[in-house]
């Protein structure tokens, strides 16, 4: 029998500031895909709902508090790596409490939607850009 496909469940968020810019985070050295710019987020822990994961990850990585009601699902990324299949919903969040800070040594950048494509991104994140630009405008 063929090996079952390993499914990796990850959530990501487009944080949108009042000027319509989106936050990208650079994956730190030593991590898989180091140096690439991604939408912040992380792996869904057993028993978590995706919204709970995002609230936890944004507190850990960026030091901000988002309310579940402020998270709107936009679209899904689905990418087959060699050893696993990544399934990753992208949420949009425009309101949060606290100031965005780098809590894990990652570089952060606020980027205009039309400029997102000029940042090297993980292959899962790249196909999310058209839906985001549609929503936010250039």
Alpha helices (runs of H) in the chain, residue ranges in sequence order: 50-62, 129-136
Collapsing DSSP to helix, strand or coil, 6 comes out as: coil
Which one of 5, 30, 32, 83 is in contact with ligand 9L3 (CB under 6 A)? 32
Q: What is the DSSP letter of 4?
A: P
Task: Determine the interface stretch with ligand 9L3 among 16-24, 28-36, 48-56, 98-106 (rule: CB under 6 A).
Answer: 28-36
How far is Cα 121 from Cα 138, in angstroms, rounded to an integer? 18
Contacts with ligand 9L3 in 50-89 (CB under 6 A)?
86
To Mg ion, the closest distance from the beta carbon of 114 in angstroms equals 25
To Mg ion, the closest distance from the beta carbon of 30 in angstroms equals 13
Q: How many residues bind ligand 9L3 (CB under 6 A)?
A: 15
Which one of 23, 53, 71, 125 is in contact with ligand 9L3 (CB under 6 A)? 125
To ligand 9L3, the closest distance from the beta carbon of 12 in angstroms equals 4
* CA torsion angle 138 50 95 126 (round to 10): -20
Find out whether 123 and 43 touch, Cβ atoms under 8 Å: no
């Amino acid at each position: 029998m063929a090996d079952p496909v390993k499914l990796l469940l990850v959530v990501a968020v487009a944080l949108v500031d009042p000027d319509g810019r989106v936050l990208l985070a650079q994956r730190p050295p030593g991590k898989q895909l180091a140096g690439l710019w991604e939408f912040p987020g992380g792996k869904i822990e057993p028993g978590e709902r995706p919204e709970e994961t995002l609230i936890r990850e944004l507190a850990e990585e960026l030091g901000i508090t988002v309310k579940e009601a402020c998270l709107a699902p936009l679209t899904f990324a689905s990418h087959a790596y060699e050893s696993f299949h990544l399934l990753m919903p992208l949420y949009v969040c425009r309101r949060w409490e606290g100031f965005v800070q780098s809590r894990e040594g990652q570089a952060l950048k606020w980027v205009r939607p039309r400029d997102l494509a000029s940042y090297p991104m993980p292959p899962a994140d790249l196909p999310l850009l058209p839906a985001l630009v549609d929503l936010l405008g250039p």
